[in-house]
Amino acid sequence: MITYNENERVFKLDTPNTTYMIGIVDEENFVGHIYYGRKLEDTDASYLMRTGEPPFVPSRNNRERCSFYDCFPFEYPASGLGDYREGCIGIRTAGGHAGAVLSYVSHEIMAGKPGLEGLPATFGTEEECTTLKLLCEDRYVGMQVELLYTVFHDTDVITRSVRVTNTGTGHFYLTKVYSACIDMDNRDYDMVTLHGSWARERHIQRKTLGYGIQSVSSFRGESSHQDHPFLALVDKNTTQENGEIYAMNFVYSGNFRAQAEVTQFDYVRMTMGIHPENFCWKLESGESFQAPEVVMVYTDKGFDAMTAAFHRLYKKHLIRSEYRDRKRPILINNWEATYFDFNTEKLLSIAREASKLGIEMLVMDDGWFGRRNADDCALGDWKVNEEKINGGLKYLVDEVNKLGMKFGIWFEPEMISPDSDLYREHPDWAIAIPGRPGTESRQQFVLDLSRQEVVDCIYEKVASVLRSANIEYVKWDMNRQLTDIGSYGLPADRQGELYHRYVLAVYQMQDRLTKEFPHLLLENCSGGGARFDPGMLYFSPQIWCSDDADAIERLEIQEGTALLYPLSTMGAHVSDCPNHTVGRVTPFETRGIVALAGTFGYELDVTKIPQEDRDMIPGQVAMYHKYNDLVREGDYYRIASYSQNHKFDCWQVVSGDRKQSLVTFVQVLNRANFKSRRILLKGLDAGKRYNVSFVNDDNIEDKVYSGEMLMKAGLLVPNPWGDFRARLIFLDEA
């Protein structure tokens, strides 16, 4: 619900358990942030803006206007006039100047939620959410800024975005435009962020918030392996189950910056938006710029509650694919099985064996097109290599279909190899600084998708392959980050638009693809999990989590990913051993149990793995069919974290009716002479009784316990024998 109290000039935005308040102040109608936190009944909280303290408001004390600007809690701060904290919006007028401050003009409160032009965004019906449009302006610049807030009625989430319009007569440049800001008191917070690298994405970091600016960001042209568009400020005492959290997550797949700035007065300004590095957007008179959406979550109930809010929102109000609520076909991908060395016969031999074991889809990865026999050529030449795919693509797909399996294919549409027919024909289609040799990465360049002719040409190449056979799945990859930011297609004063135009074009292409092929299962990927973000989830219900499928490395990757994203979105496969990334040997059973927490599939050559591993596949397939509804739709809880305790990992899912639950326990290194572990379960119905069975260990007898006992006293999990051992525990109402 959203209300406006005209006397107090206060907006109050309520979700089920939280309140957000905005106030209009002084004759100049400054827009201030009042409050975000536990739900309030009272609206009279304007005192929190401290306008009753020196330096007071400008109408009372104009001599200290600068001090006012520097301490007022702005709802959407600009800069250059006295607020020395970092602002959310930067402009450069035709005259070359930069100062701005925003004043309230008008507002509108409406049922539902408008879409954001060209951008992915969360959505909801008129019953599910309410939106506030707050129109502000700087009349000296000739700029209007529309702040959009949506509250969801069934989830403790507020989304925000910003639209800037040039209402003047000439042009100006936007040099920065963040999407959200909260100016509040720093109550000794910690900062939680996600970091990593290729093959070890999204590890959780928590550190003390200090004075000055602390940020997490990417200007790699994508959300990245290295940093993640997520920032949470949390109370020192916040745990999984208790404590305050202010969290922001960005519905965007390009450059971002999330930042907390602690000031001289112990205030903190928390912001998120497009990274200003090399961003400069020209707005002609009458033109607008739409900034992407930020999802904000507040809770005083710890990380479990924060995670629940994000999962719920993304499951119900972000992912659109018809696969969202469906079991995904169990796939086998040939990448780690064959790399580039395959042909029709080899693929069919894998498919034949896989189909006997219950695997439901063959995915042909990199290497099927052009002269692509290594990663040094042919990106852009999206024509089937009939020397390898002898008999043609349709023949291969039909043969796979005859085995009762679906067929999927890999593309990397955004790229161009210097050694490709496409590049020889269109050297100016690569992103490059004219006159400077381009910087190669994985021996490839990035296509200049700011040019519509490039987008149309590549889209058509991809779509015509998809039209040529019964292809039911696409893995859309992106294997290098952006450099050499320059476009042959943009004028000099629009080169600073390239990064964002690139992301808009990726969205446009995926939008076209999912509209033309509405039944396609799309899986996004970027050198593993470099573009695992809410922007991509709008187009694909699943994203490849990481190129590292080692069961132990995956514990941290999947913990960090599941902090925000539903298990149904996490691409997870069983791969071969020794693991191709870390060389570790883990039991096949454990690899299966860890992959069951995601979309589940295989990434190995079933014709070559040891017989005893192959023999386990039908059992794993059966487990997937038995438990996937629960994993996909259930509520997720983190029970223990290997990244914190360095001993074991444990997570749990519980069905909506709380009749069933699945607990995964993974012991990393075994310890000599150790007893069972006592773990406290969560989310059960205290009054129900549950039959507890250890799915992968017949020697442990089933037992019945009450939900109360399991949650308060705990379950004893016998110590598994050996390293890297997992236990899957199923609870069913007795």
* 335 near ligand GLA, judged by CB under 6 A: yes
**465 in helix, strand or coil?**
helix
* 562/565 Cα distance (integer angstroms): 5
CB of 570 to ligand GLA, least distance (A): 14
Q: Of 359, 356, 354, 389, which is closest to residue 371 (Cα–Cα)?
A: 389
CB of 561 to ligand GLA, least distance (A): 15
DSSP label at residue 516: H
Q: Which is nearer to ligand GLA, 410 or 429 (CB)?
A: 410
Near ligand GLA by CB under 6 A, which window of 230-238, 390-398, 522-530, 535-543?
Answer: 522-530
CB of 336 to ligand GLA, least distance (A): 8
Evaluate whether 511 touches 117 at the Cβ level (below 8 Å).
no
Q: Would you state the structure tokens that stand for residue 84, as one six-digit string? A: 């020395």
- Please identify which residue in 528, 534, 560, 587 interacts with ligand GLA, judged by CB under 6 A: 528
Burial (CB count <10 Å: 0-12, 13-18, 19+), residue 668: middle
Q: Would you state the structure tokens that stand for residue 303, as one six-digit string? A: 């990380």
Q: Which is nearer to ligand GLA, 190 or 201 (CB)?
A: 201
CB of 628 to ligand GLA, least distance (A): 22
Q: Which is nearer to ligand GLA, 336 or 635 (CB)?
A: 336
How would you classify residue 658: left for phi > 0, otherwise alpha for psi between -120 and 50, otherwise beta? Answer: left
- Please identify which residue in 183, 365, 381, 472 interacts with ligand GLA, judged by CB under 6 A: 365
Give me the half-sphere count of Cα atoms (radius 13 Å) on the Cβ side of residue 652. Answer: 24
Applying CB under 6 A, what is the total number of residues that bind ligand GLA? 12
Q: Would you state the structure tokens that stand for residue 38, as one six-digit string? A: 């536990």
Residue keyed to tokens 């295989």 = 602
* 466/409 Cα distance (integer angstroms): 9
CB of 365 to ligand GLA, least distance (A): 5
* 548 near ligand GLA, judged by CB under 6 A: no
CB of 530 to ligand GLA, least distance (A): 9
* 576 near ligand GLA, judged by CB under 6 A: no
- Please identify which residue in 222, 244, 360, 547 interacts with ligand GLA, judged by CB under 6 A: 547
CB of 547 to ligand GLA, least distance (A): 5
* 527 near ligand GLA, judged by CB under 6 A: yes
CB of 477 to ligand GLA, least distance (A): 5
Q: Of 533, 420, 399, 413, which is closest to residue 475 (Cα–Cα)?
A: 413
* 538/543 Cα distance (integer angstroms): 11
* 465/643 Cα distance (integer angstroms): 43
* 601 near ligand GLA, judged by CB under 6 A: no
Near ligand GLA by CB under 6 A, which window of 162-170, 320-328, 499-507, 523-531?
Answer: 523-531
**Site track 393-412 with ligand GLA (rule: CB under 6 A), x = hit:** -----------------x--
Element (H, E) at 355: helix 344-357
Q: Which is nearer to ligand GLA, 138 or 477 (CB)?
A: 477
Alpha helices (H) along 50-98: 65-71
Near ligand GLA by CB under 6 A, which window of 46-54, 56-64, 521-529, 644-652?
Answer: 521-529
* 521/320 Cα distance (integer angstroms): 11
Q: Indicate the residue type of 661.
A: S
- Please identify which residue in 143, 377, 482, 525 interacts with ligand GLA, judged by CB under 6 A: 525
Q: Which is nearer to ligand GLA, 156 or 477 (CB)?
A: 477
Residues from 197 through 236 that contact ligand GLA (CB under 6 A): none
Near ligand GLA by CB under 6 A, which window of 345-353, 389-397, 524-532, 534-542?
Answer: 524-532
Q: Which is nearer to ligand GLA, 337 or 505 (CB)?
A: 337
* 658/716 Cα distance (integer angstroms): 21
**103 in helix, strand or coil?**
strand
What b-and-e string marks burial along 93-112, b requiring 16 or more CB atoms within 10 Å of the CB?
beeeebebbbbbeebebeee
Q: Which is nearer to ligand GLA, 295 or 359 (CB)?
A: 359
CA end-to-end distance (rounded Å), the chain: 41
Q: Which is nearer to ligand GLA, 443 or 719 (CB)?
A: 443
Q: Which residues are catalytic?
A: 477, 547
CB of 224 to ligand GLA, least distance (A): 14
Evaluate whether 302 touches 238 at the Cβ level (below 8 Å).
yes
CB of 338 to ligand GLA, least distance (A): 11
Which residue of the chain is nearest ligand GLA when measured via CB? 366
CB of 526 to ligand GLA, least distance (A): 7
CB of 373 to ligand GLA, least distance (A): 12
Evaluate whether 194 touches 240 at the Cβ level (below 8 Å).
no
Q: Which is nearer to ligand GLA, 190 or 523 (CB)?
A: 523
Evaluate whether 681 touches 711 at the Cβ level (below 8 Å).
yes
Q: Which is nearer to ligand GLA, 310 or 410 (CB)?
A: 410
Evaluate whether 169 touches 144 at the Cβ level (below 8 Å).
no
* 519/514 Cα distance (integer angstroms): 8
Strand partners, 134: 107, 147
Near ligand GLA by CB under 6 A, which window of 64-72, 258-266, 455-463, 525-533?
Answer: 525-533
- Please identify which residue in 366, 497, 550, 559 interacts with ligand GLA, judged by CB under 6 A: 366
Q: Which is nearer to ligand GLA, 260 or 545 (CB)?
A: 545
**Site track 454-483 with ligand GLA (rule: CB under 6 A), x = hit:** -----------------------x-x----
- DSSP result, 288-351: EEEEEEEEEEEESBHHHHHHHHHHHHHHHHT---TTTTSPPPPEEE-HHHHTT---HHHHHHHH
Evaluate whether 598 touches 549 at the Cβ level (below 8 Å).
no
**Site track 369-388 with ligand GLA (rule: CB under 6 A), x = hit:** ------x-------------
Backbone φ and ψ of 715, nearest 5°: -110, 140
Q: Of 560, 126, 658, which is closest to residue 310 (Cα–Cα)?
A: 560
Element (H, E) at 446: strand 445-446
Q: Which is nearer to ligand GLA, 8 or 375 (CB)?
A: 375
CB of 556 to ligand GLA, least distance (A): 18
* 358/355 Cα distance (integer angstroms): 5
* 16/689 Cα distance (integer angstroms): 30
* 592/604 Cα distance (integer angstroms): 13
Q: Which is nearer to ligand GLA, 225 or 275 (CB)?
A: 225
Point out which residues bind ligand GLA (CB under 6 A): 335, 365-366, 375, 410, 477, 479, 525, 527-528, 544, 547
